[in-house]
Amino acid sequence: MSVAELLGQELGSFSDLLHARALEHGDRTALVCGDQALTYAELDAVVERVAASLQRDGLQPGEVVAICVSGWTMDAIAALLGAVRAGGAAAPIPTSLAPRSLVLLLKDSGARVAFFDAKVWEPVKESGDEILAKRIALDGSDAGEAFSTWLAPVGTRANEVAFDPDRPFNIIYSSGTTGVPKGIVHAHRMRWRQLRGLAYGADAVSLVSLSIYSNMALLSLLPTLTHGGTAVVMAKFDVGEFLRLAEDHRVTHAMMVPVQVHRILEHPDFDRRDLSSFRMKHVAGAPFSVNMKSEVLRRWPGGLQESYGMTEGGGATGLAAHEFPHKLHTVGRPGPGTEIRIIDEDGREVALGELGEVVGRSDNTMQRYHNQPERSREIEWVSPDGLTFIRTGDLGKLDEDGFLQLVDRKKDMIISGGFNIYPSDLEAEMIQHPQVLEAAVVGVASDKWGETPVAFVALKPGATVTADELKAWTNGKLGKTQRLADLILVDSLPRSHIGKVLKRELRDDYKGVALTA
């Protein structure tokens, strides 16, 4: 089947489409990573060899393949795409978490095969007996069998796997340090609809600068390949390198979180680089200030699209900021096939313009939380007309033009640099300290990160630990994306009449260093 025929289908296989592109224009550059480049024919061939190797090792359709690497490489991309072609579910594991959390995620995933590099393997190898997956080392280290010898010979073909639109395409894990974080399962059905809907042309050059385990990274890489463009992939985000690559490769598209945008605009080379090739910047994943949107529109060529939504899917909105500069205080309107409603605490819809929890529905919704059916049900809201919506936990309101304005978060989750941070995880670590009585963590505004976590701690009588000592002790137990920016010692935490900690008071009264951190 041709590329055009495949893209014309309501449901289809990304792997089939990648193979069709290799047949129709195999000499076109698909990927650039460091000093390596692969054409569509070369990429398809190595993906096929990975899939054949996984099948040789017994991978069955629906089983999980974990990718545990410190940054993007050609082999890591081939491993991810090969897992999907073999019928497996690709699970890029968040490697910024504490080692124990990483092991827990691997165990939760039930991965049959896991790809590692030395940087990720070294901190977890003491728990290696708990990792049941077959380990493959992408960098030739002792993290597992060498990728070069594990990989099937050139020309090896994988067994064809019958396409099932409801089979998992991937599992994206949320962050966490205690218990088992949520694994968000996306089926082929959802991914196909997303990929067809994102308008990257065959002449697009997309700069992929987000971590491999980010859903937004996949939403940057996969649409580019779907529509026949070139993806320039950064092993690790660096502002100066981002600007150099954007100029040298005449980049047309980039998907970023606000903290990246902030750093890029501040870099001394920004105004010296030729960025005139840009057609669109996509920004999502964290609060994006009006001032920063305005600065992007003023200084950075091309359009600006802000997206709001959850990895779980459901409702999503988009703001074409270059078309609606008077709506920069909003996150835009629902896209085609998407419905947003606002409900009160009793689950009833509120009037237009009133504040409430944002719920949404669309075809682009996760299949489930992996191994957590109760949490899958908890996130749902069923309307009086029998439709199922996903609860966002965000508070917002719709204006008369249908634009959504976010006001606050009903949940306490903090989004820092595009990563989710759960205060309860941090609080659970702090109360393990023998001198801590109680603790509360809130997200405060940060110019650098969008939001950043700050802790308020009441100590036990007679305690001698200082704020700096407790902050260092806590951060030593957390993943690097979760670490506290500030810690304040208080006599007691403010509480409501029923004993609930009033986190809004803590956040509103905070005037510390984290505001500009």
The pLDDT of residue 516: 52
Phi, psi of 302 (to 5 degrees): 90, 175
Q: What percent of the chain has a predicted confidence (pLDDT) above 90?
A: 72
260 near 237, Cβ under 8 Å?
yes
pLDDT at 412 over 80: no
The pLDDT of residue 460: 92
Could you give the 3-state DSSP secondary structure of residue 193? Answer: helix
The pLDDT of residue 1: 87
Q: Residues in the chain, how many?
A: 517
Average pLDDT, the chain: 91
Tokens of 397: 């309101």
Q: Tell me: the pLDDT tens digits for 146-176?
A: 999 999 999 999 999 999 999 999 999 975 4
The pLDDT of residue 418: 84
Report the sign of the C-alpha dihedral through residues 507, 509, 515, 517, in that order: negative
CA angle, 430 then 474 then 175, to 5°:
85
The pLDDT of residue 513: 61
| Structure confidence at residue 199 as a pLDDT band (50, 70, 90) | confident
The pLDDT of residue 484: 95
Q: At what angle do helices 74-85 and 40-56 cross, to 10 degrees?
A: 60
Nearest to 15 by CA among 166, 188, 151: 188
| Structure confidence at residue 20 as a pLDDT band (50, 70, 90) | very high
Cα gap 310→174, rounded to integer Å:
11
The pLDDT of residue 425: 81
User: Span 130-155, mean pLDDT?
Assistant: 96
| Structure confidence at residue 498 as a pLDDT band (50, 70, 90) | very low
The pLDDT of residue 315: 85
Question: Per CATH, the architecture of 414-516 is what?
Answer: 2-Layer Sandwich (3.30)
Q: Per CATH, which fold does 40-189 belong to?
A: Rossmann fold (3.40.50)
137: left (phi over 0), alpha (psi -120 to 50) or beta: beta
Q: Tell me: the pLDDT tens digits for 274-304?
A: 999 999 999 998 778 888 999 999 999 999 9
Cα gap 354→365, rounded to integer Å:
26
The pLDDT of residue 288: 86
Phi, psi of 189 (to 5 degrees): -55, -45
Phi, psi of 81 (to 5 degrees): -70, -35
Q: Tell me: the pLDDT tens digits for 214-242?
A: 899 999 999 999 999 999 999 999 999 99
- DSSP for 58-88 reads T--TT-EEEEE-SS--HHHHHHHHHHHHTT-
The pLDDT of residue 242: 98
121 near 137, Cβ under 8 Å?
yes
The pLDDT of residue 179: 42
The pLDDT of residue 289: 83
Out of 3.40.190.10, 2.30.38.10, 1.10.10.60, 1.10.3720.10, the CATH code matching 335-409 is 2.30.38.10
User: Span 120-125, mean pLDDT?
Assistant: 94
Position 452: which residue type? T
Selected residue with higher pLDDT from 111 and 421:
111
Q: Tell me: the pLDDT tens digits for 36-74?
A: 999 999 999 999 999 999 999 999 999 999 999 999 999
63 near 112, Cβ under 8 Å?
yes
Q: Tell me: the pLDDT tens digits for 474-489?
A: 999 998 889 999 999 9
Tokens of 359: 């719920």
Report domain extents, the chain.
40-189, 335-409, 414-516
Selected residue with higher pLDDT from 335 and 499:
335
Cα gap 100→66, rounded to integer Å:
16
pTM of the prediction? 0.81
Cα gap 449→426, rounded to integer Å:
18
* End-to-end Cα spacing for the chain: 53
Name 113's bridge partners: 65, 134
Could you give the 3-state DSSP secondary structure of residue 378? Answer: helix
The pLDDT of residue 388: 94
| Structure confidence at residue 500 as a pLDDT band (50, 70, 90) | low
Tokens of 409: 């978060």
The pLDDT of residue 481: 87
| Structure confidence at residue 514 as a pLDDT band (50, 70, 90) | low
Cα gap 117→463, rounded to integer Å:
43
Cα–Cα distances in angstroms (integers) from residue 484 to residues 122, 284, 455, 505, in the given order: 25, 23, 7, 18
Nearest to 20 by CA among 4, 3, 5, 7: 3
The pLDDT of residue 77: 97
